[in-house]
Amino acid sequence: MEKSDILPWTEKYRPQNLDGVAGQREIVERLKAFVKAGNMPNMLFAGPPGVGKTTCSLALAREIFGKEIGNFLELNASDERGIEVVRGRIKDFARTISMGGAPFKLIFLDEGDALTSDAQQALRRTMEANSSVTRFIISANYSSRIIEPIQSRCAVFRFIPLTMKEMHSALEHVVKNEKLKMDEKAFEAIFYVSEGDMRRALNILQGCAMHSHQISEELVHKTSSRATPKEVKEMVDLALDGKFQEAREKLDKLIITYGLSGEDILIQVYREIPKLTINEKERMVLIEAVGECNFRLVQGANERIQIEALLAKFAVVK
């Protein structure tokens, strides 16, 4: 068995260069211009999970340094998030001269929004003091959690979720390599569940492939522990028609069949509201009810009671 056969597909199919990155074409072109110029600023990659922030950082490092890995330091800030790592490993690496004739060294801080405030304050001075020999890439799911002094020292790149076309193209490559069979409905189901997150999409596809080489829409939803949009819509429609007991029975089926949590069901209900054939005033009332239910769940309320209360609210609206 080859080493690649036991890797998770998120690593096995990670692009080795910028041209292989799925989506983010505008960002990729800007990064390629930095490679061509042989220079780059400090950068902040911001965006939701699984859209290519880490992949772009690693691919950029390979294109600049080639096999000279001594010029590149990757740290996951969620594991090493205190001020000690900034004063220790980062500072020591940042102030040394690059090897092999490379123009600078590169430090990649993954999940930089997990750094404590004190660590970020220490980091900004390190970035400034070593700007002649070291560049930084900081990735963050929430750019608002990065302090303003660091944001002002970085060129900000905002990543967006992949479109269905971009994800379809990337998954087709994997399906072909793994000799799988998958129809269009299954592609759409993976996109629905992953919501533009390529990492989640690959994990779902690998999970399905462990069950069967014929990937179907039903298998995707079962593997990802998500109800189908049709089943959620049926439950919502029953509630809106005033058939509360039937809607409640449908909820029981979803919980038992898929093992969904209250928050999982709530997210899927929220995604179905814009598709309902109701007037705007009713739609606003439903979204407000979902928001209230979400707040109560976050505060620790009983999931079953809150979702049933939401269905009752839907029944009253109509």
pLDDT by residue (tens digit) across 120-177? Answer: 888 888 888 888 888 999 999 998 899 999 999 899 999 999 999 999 999 999 999 9
User: What percent of the chain has pLDDT above 70?
Assistant: 95
Residue found under tokens 């449908």: 250
Q: Cβ distance 242 to 318 under 8 Å?
A: yes
Q: Rounded CA gap, 248 and 44, in Å?
A: 46
Per-residue burial over 94-103, b if 16 or more Cβ lie within 10 Å, else e, is: beeebeeebe
Name the burial class of residue 191, with classes exposed (0-12), middle (13-18) and buried (19+) by CB atoms within 10 angstroms of its CB. buried
Give me the pLDDT at residue 1, please.
47
CA distance 172 to 306: 40
Cα separation values, 76 from 19, 21, 100, 108, 140, Å: 25, 21, 26, 8, 11
Predicted TM-score (pTM) of this structure: 0.83
Task: Determine the pLDDT at residue 38.
Answer: 85
Torsion angles phi and psi, residue 202, rounded to 5: -65, -40
3-state SS assignment for residue 142: coil
Report the pLDDT value the prediction gives residue 225, as an integer from 0 to 100.
Answer: 80
How many CA atoms does the CB half-sphere of 82 hold within 13 Å? Answer: 2
What's the whole-number average pLDDT of the chain? 87
Please, are residues 8 and 204 in contact by the beta-carbon 8 Å criterion? no
Radius of gyration of the chain (CA): 23
Question: Domains in the chain, please, with CATH?
Answer: 3-158 (3.40.50.300), 164-223 (1.10.8.60), 229-317 (1.20.272.10)
Please tell me the distance from the alpha carbon of residue 62 to that of residue 69, in angstroms, as a whole number: 8
Note whether 223 and 204 are within 8 A (CB): yes
Low-confidence ranges of the chain (pLDDT < 50): 1
Q: For position 259, what pLDDT does the model report?
A: 79
Q: How far is CA 189 from CA 164, 170, 273, in A?
A: 11, 15, 18
Q: Over the stretch 29-60, which tens digit does the pLDDT of each residue have?
A: 999 999 888 888 999 999 999 999 999 999 99
Residue-by-residue DSSP string for 247-294: HHHHHHHHHHHH---HHHHHHHHHHHGGGS-S-HHHHHHHHHHHHHHH
In angstroms, rounded to a whole number, what is the distance separating the alpha carbons of residues 222 and 167?
20
| C-alpha span between 115 and 138 (Å, rounded) | 11
User: Exposed, middle or buried: residue 144 (CB in 10 Å: 0-12, 13-18, 19+)?
Assistant: exposed
Quickly tell me which residue has 């379809």 as its tokens. Answer: 168
C-alpha pair distances (Å), 125 with each of 87, 130, 135, 140, 145: 10, 9, 13, 19, 18
Structure confidence at residue 159 (pLDDT): 94
If DSSP codes are grouped into helix, strand and coil, which group holds residue 202?
A: helix
